């Protein structure tokens, strides 16, 4: 989890860059995580449904990523 936290902190630190993190399980893309400097929000896009959720802080974003990984780890990984 510490690695994911650093990854999100890095996205904020370099907000002038367009950094996208794709999280996969067994080569199946699960979610895409981006930081929007304009909105100051993390954006998680669930694949393949393309539904989007937004988070204001790192810890809420981490919690959602962790729950997603745990869910898919039980089902498909």
Instruction: Name the band, by pLDDT with cuts 50, 70 and 90, for residue 73.
Output: confident
pLDDT at 76 over 70: no
pLDDT at 55 over 80: yes
Q: What is the pLDDT of residues 7-28, one digit of tens each?
A: 999 999 998 888 999 998 888 8
In percent, the amount of the chain with pLDDT more than 70 equals 95
End-to-end CA distance of the chain: 18
pLDDT at 34 over 90: yes
Instruction: Name the band, by pLDDT with cuts 50, 70 and 90, for residue 61.
Output: very high
Number of other residues whose CB lies within 10 A of the CB of residue 25: 16
Domains of the chain: 2-75 (3.30.720)
């Amino acid at each position: 989890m510490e690695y994911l936290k650093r990854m999100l902190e890095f996205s904020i630190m370099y907000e002038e860059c367009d950094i996208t993190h794709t999280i996969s399980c067994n080569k199946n893309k699960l979610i895409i995580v981006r930081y929007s400097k304009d909105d100051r929000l993390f954006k998680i896009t669930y694949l393949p449904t393309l539904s989007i959720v937004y988070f204001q802080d790192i810890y809420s974003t981490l919690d959602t990523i962790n729950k997603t990984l745990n869910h898919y780890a039980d089902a498909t990984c």
